[in-house]
Chain A
Amino acid sequence: MESLSTSSEFENLYSYLKRFSDRLVEEEDNLRIVVESEKLREVAEVLSKTEGVFLRTIAASDERSVNGFYKMYYVFGIDKIHRNIVIEVPVDSSDPVVPSITDIVKAADWYEKEAHDLMGIKFSGRTLYKFVLPDDWPDNVYPLRKDYTVQDLVKLYRPEIVTKAKEVEAEAAIIIPIGPYHPALHEPEYFELYVRGEKVVDARYVGFMVHRGIEKLAESMKYDQVPFLAERICGICGFVHSCSYCQAVEKALKIPIPERAEYIRSIVLEIERIHSHLLWLGVAFHLLGYDTGFMHIWRIREQVMILAELLTGSRKTYGLNIIGGVRRDIDRDKAKKCLQVLDNIEKEFKNFVDAAINVPQIKSRLRRTGLLPKSEATSLSLVGPTVRGSGIPRDIRKDYPYAAYKYIDFKPVVRSECDNMARTEVRIYEIFQSIELVKNFLDRIPEGDIAVDSWEPEPYKFGIGAVEAPRGEVIHIVITGRYSPYRWRARAPTYQNLPAIPIMLRDIELADAPITIASIDPCFSCTDRALIIDISSNNVKSVPLNILSLKSSKLFR
């Protein structure tokens, strides 16, 4: 593999960065560079203008106890050469201010908001208000700072249930209490859609209902307990989170994991993808009123659930990952059963989806709705089937190979129509592709151990773990501590993808809003560990009709 310093294409970028700072370290797959905050905007500008560089994640970390300041980590990725550029910006602890880069790198918007709320970092150039935390959260208490333990925070703030409920009573007279609960979104999130007649003119995400304080909790847990916590970030694609957490720790501490464990992880990841895409497809049919399709797709999916339970011991939240490997082996019987089930699913699914996708209403409502132009998709650094439906072949399995994907060759599924149908088709073909991949993995899986015997934590090492989840790229950053992670930053795909929704919703019919929102396969429990959107409203004169939509990955329920 090429590294940044040897790549001919990115030679200029490298020499530029090198001139910029002498504190530049080239690691196995990251290029880490320390940049003073005054120069941050300049570097960001250069990176955002370089073609093929995407923002992957941003993390704020409280390192006052180690080196006396806060630190911001900006992770940019160059898909082509499988390398990350990690820009580290030390932030003064008495006056934590960093220049905002949102106007240069669009995708940075939410990250800055989150860092402001949870870590108390201020961004010059923009004013931020409370987004993630409840409105009555005490000022100057930033949960992710090391000044507070989880117990302190619980003592500092408890909501007044009775008072709160009475306030609700007062405002609830007209709008009926379906609140953020809407049948299309099975999660308590909501969008406000501004509509004129039946046309949507604008949309605003009002969320953070599922913020559960996960990153803080992890700091009070031991290394081996965190995978179970990570898995509960999301009940649909939990395995990807525990996987990328483990990979981040393994990278940071350079723990070599057995090849067999890598294969087992990949097999379970693909099985999770099959189940998640089938689930999505079923819900999409339900959103389009085609309940028969929903029922049959879920009938087919049930076999995957039984298979997952057989392989891992649980239908969901598999509890399979530990640092250094996996807890359960796939023996010969299970592998045989697995192949059988997959064959069956492939046959049934092919038959059924062929019929279902030809239902006239499904066809006409998916085609040419929810358009997401390629240029917008690039500038927002979108991930997963959302971006692949717009003709950009970004796939972490290919771009930053991990686990057993290193050993295998495949092509990401790409569609270039940019509409809801394109995203649906990407998912449908990915199901077939995943079945193919699992068969391949089972074929090649080597004998051996499934976990390392022991490993020693070493504090203040930095590691990035990324996994291609069914919804897109999941990326975890871990800075290790002595007994538990010092800082753990999880970024879910929906976090990156949600800003695309207002673009897709503009000027479509109200009836198509649920399926369009669903088309990024939003998973709010992932996203809300911390985050929020704010789309500055444009100048369209709009009739504000608070459409509380949202519930699910099931979608708007």
Chain B
Amino acid sequence: MTGWTALLLRDLRLARRVGAGAELGLVFFLILVSLLPFAIGADQRFISRIAPAFLWLAALLATLLGLDRLLQADEEEGVLDQFMLSGTPLELLVLAKALAHWLVTGLPLSLVAPLLGLMLAIEPQAMVPLALSLLVGTPALTLIGLIGAALTVSLKRGGLLLSVLVLPLTVPTLIFGATLVKEAALGRPYTTPLMLLGGMTLLMLVIAPVSAAAALRHARQ
């Protein structure tokens, strides 16, 4: 077993044991969705109209959960020192951590979102595109968050700062994702936003590990 897969499995195991992973993110997502009608009223048609945008916004916020501890816990315990001594490049190791984070937040969220879409009276033809958009788009959110996590790794209360740093950069992902679902709900083709969303994720797949690793290296200088 290589160091990369060992790290991935370790983080998945940690997420299960510590309980900050899948369940809590999903519960947070569910709470956000159930709060919406209280804020805007029970007008089914209005809810249906803003549901795609709102589900994407909720997914964005749920993805931020736990990001502040993603690298910090390893830094505090001296595990990041060991990363530096590993034969596996730091860029790939932080990518493994991001993948683990996505597997316990983004992935379950994408699969559950259509069910919550039912509650928000989303158009039936938009169910599958909703799950698809989240599957393709939430990795970009996690990866952008990875950069923020690396930049705030040594800060005691970095959670709020992380959100401030990260959220502006998520604008394109949010636009493409929410537009995809909206177009699908109107019965229009959604290939363009899907391609743009995928492009965003691919781009972040390159930028995020490199910048996060650079930030971690510089943070210990």
Tell me if chain B binds chain A: no
